[in-house]
Amino acid sequence: MTYAATQVYAPTPSVPGELKVIQDATCTFCGCVCDDIELTVKDDHIIEAKRACVLGKAWFLNHSIEDRPSCMVDGKPATLEQGYDRAAEILTHGKYPIVYGLSDSPCEAQRVAVSIVDWIKGTIDTTTSVCHGPSGMAFQGVGEVTCSLGEVANRGDLIMFWGSNPAESHPRHFTKYSLMPKGMFLPNGRKDRTCVLVDVRKTKSAKAADIFIQIKPKRDFEALWTLRALAKGIELDPDLVQRETGVEFSVWTDLMDRMKACKFGVIFFGMGLTMTRGKHANSEAILALTRDMNEHTRFVAKPNRGHGNVTGADNVVSWRTGYPFGVNHSRGYPRFNPGEYTTSDTLANREADCGMTIACDPMANFSQPAREHLASIPFIALDTKETPTTRVAAVAFTVATYGINTGGTVYRMDDVPIPLRPAFPSPHPSDYDVLTEIEKRVKKILGVTHV
Partner 1 sequence: MLETFILIPGRTTDQGCGVSEGKFKAKYQTAVNSLQVAPGDMERLGLSEGDRVRLTGEEGQSVEVCITAAKKEELPEGLLFIAYGDISSQLMTGDTHGSGMPTSKGMEVTMELLQKATS
In the complex, the residues that contact partner 1 under the rule CB under 8 A are: 29-30, 54-55, 58-59, 62-63, 125, 129-130, 133-134, 137, 165, 168-169, 171, 200-204, 214, 217-218, 271-272, 274-277, 279-280, 306, 325-326, 338-345, 348-349, 361, 364-370, 385-388
User: Nearer to partner 1 by C-beta: 325 or 432?
Assistant: 325
- Phi and psi (nearest 5°) for 87? -60, -45
User: Nearer to partner 1 by C-beta: 89 or 372?
Assistant: 372
Cβ–Cβ under 8 Å, residues 375 and 55: no
User: Nearer to partner 1 by C-beta: 274 or 290?
Assistant: 274
User: Nearer to partner 1 by C-beta: 303 or 326?
Assistant: 326
State in angstroms the smallest separation of the CB of 373 from partner 1: 9
Q: How far apart are CA 204 and CA 212, in angstroms?
A: 11
State in angstroms the smallest separation of the CB of 217 from partner 1: 5
- Give the containing element (helix H, strand E) for 327: strand 327-328
State in angstroms the smallest separation of the CB of 165 from partner 1: 6
For strand 158-162 and strand 123-126, is the pairing parallel, antiparallel, or unpaired?
A: unpaired
User: Nearer to partner 1 by C-beta: 61 or 229?
Assistant: 61
Cβ within 8 Å of residue 273, ≥6 positions away: 134, 135, 162, 163, 220, 279, 282, 283, 286
Q: How far apart are CA 137 and CA 313, in angstroms?
A: 15
Residue 279: closest CA among 303, 248, 244: 303
User: Nearer to partner 1 by C-beta: 92 or 328?
Assistant: 328
State in angstroms the smallest separation of the CB of 310 from partner 1: 14
Cβ–Cβ under 8 Å, residues 412 and 33: yes
State in angstroms the smallest separation of the CB of 216 from partner 1: 9
For strand 379-383 and strand 354-358, is the pairing parallel, antiparallel, or unpaired?
A: parallel
User: Nearer to partner 1 by C-beta: 181 or 278?
Assistant: 278
State in angstroms the smallest separation of the CB of 375 from partner 1: 14
State in angstroms the smallest separation of the CB of 171 from partner 1: 8
State in angstroms the smallest separation of the CB of 29 from partner 1: 7
User: Nearer to partner 1 by C-beta: 49 or 241?
Assistant: 49
Cβ within 8 Å of residue 164, ≥6 positions away: 199, 205, 268, 269, 270, 271, 272, 304
Residue 90: closest CA among 105, 73, 104, 76: 73
- Give the containing element (helix H, strand E) for 292: helix 280-293
b vs e for 92-107, b when ≥16 Cβ sit within 10 Å of the residue's Cβ? Answer: bebebbbbbbbbbbbb
